[in-house]
Chains A and B, each alone.
Chain A
Amino acid sequence: MSISFVRIDDRVIHGQLITRWAKELPCDGIVAIDDAVAADPLLSSVMKGAVQDTKVWLFDTATAIEKLPKIIASEKHYFVIGKSPVTLKRIEEAGISLQNSNKKINVGPMSARATTTTIGPNQSVNPEEIAAFDYLLLRGHQIEFRLVPDASSYSWQDARQKLK
């Protein structure tokens, strides 16, 4: 298994934060997945420069589904970052397992938007994202909301209580 860390982060690649996680977990490269970012070559190029000395790939969801089997088969250790739980849901629906050596899906910042409910510090979810988290939980993933390695955390089950 070559995925060492799976994260949901609406900044996609946030330099300082990903550097912080890469100090805790093995990281030979970063695979970031978002349709909007991948469709914007300029933004893609800027984001790829976020992490010094680490290879970064930016894919739209369809390309990620095509490439992930090869990535998972690799001997190297990769971080997989999706902008939204909806993206990860689509990947699992395509038959690709995001089980990883960190044994969970980590969730970082998800900004407040028009139809979102706040569940934690800088963490808000809309109905589509709620459904996606429910799906990922059903698929056997432990879902942990934790911004940085040392920070306090809560699970999707904990967050679910607040949403009722």
Chain B
Amino acid sequence: MINVILATHGSLAEALLAGGKMVYGELPHVFPVMLTENKGINSFGDEFAEVLKQAGKGADGVLVLCDLQSGTPWNIACHHAFDPQTQPPMAVLGGVNFPMVLLSDEIKDLTDVAQAAEVLLAETHDTLVQAQLTETTQSDDF
């Protein structure tokens, strides 16, 4: 079982989770944590550690989805992820989007967090697309 932390600037993490619940009803494996202007970096670090503790309970791994590579949520997530003492093992991805949050539902039953990260990243790549009209004639070749 892989649990997922959404670590973002502003209220993005909570908003992504709220949107996800609209589509999937529930996403109990997803834990949001946010860096906000009034709370600051230190308090975010404490909160992240607390959320990580919750997300790690009973999980084989914790996958952190950050909004921005090398932003504060990313830096703090990496600090935990690359600490050899950290249990369960973690992986960190940058550039979280809405499909990535939804697709995380499909990797939550894996046990290897590195593999979960790889699968989720590959699937999310396909979600960045430009809208195009498809042909409208319908054939009867059922």
A contact residues vs B (CB 8 Å cutoff): 14, 16-17, 20, 23, 29, 41-42, 44-46, 48-49, 52, 57-59, 67, 70-71, 74, 76, 78, 109, 120-122, 147-148, 150-152
Q: Is the CB of B134 within 8 A of A147?
A: no
Give complex CA distance A29, B138 in Å: 12
Which among B24, B103, B135 has the greatest number of chain A C-beta atoms within 10 A? B24
* Given known contacts A14-B23, A121-B21, A151-B24, A44 and B142 CB-to-CB distance under 8 angstroms: no
Q: Is the CB of B138 within 8 A of A45?
A: no
Residues of A contacting B: mostly = mixed
Give complex CA distance A147, B27 in Å: 12
Residues of B contacting A: mostly = loop
Contacts of A23 in B (CB 8 A): 106
Give complex CA distance A44, B136 in Å: 7
B76: Cβ under 8 A from any A Cβ: no
Closest to A56 in B: B134
Closest to B29 in A: A150
Q: Is the CB of A20 within 8 A of B106?
A: yes
Q: Choose one: A16, A67, A76, A121; the contact of B99 (CB below 8 Å).
A: A16
Contact flags (1/0) for B86-117 with A, using CB distance below 8 Å? 00000000000001001101100000000000
Give complex CA distance A152, B24 in Å: 10
Give complex CA distance A42, B131 in Å: 12
Closest to A148 in B: B24
Q: Choose one: B24, B25, B131; the contact of A46 (CB below 8 Å).
A: B131
What number of B residues sit within 8 Å (CB to CB) of A? Answer: 21
Q: Can you name 15 A-B pairs with beta carbons within 8 Å? A: A45-B133, A45-B134, A46-B133, A49-B131, A49-B133, A49-B134, A57-B138, A59-B138, A67-B140, A78-B142, A121-B25, A122-B23, A147-B24, A148-B25, A148-B105
Give me the 4 closest cross-chain CB pairs, A-B, nearest first: A121-B25, A147-B25, A49-B134, A74-B142
Give complex CA distance A46, B26 in Å: 28
Contacts of A16 in B (CB 8 A): 23, 99, 102-103
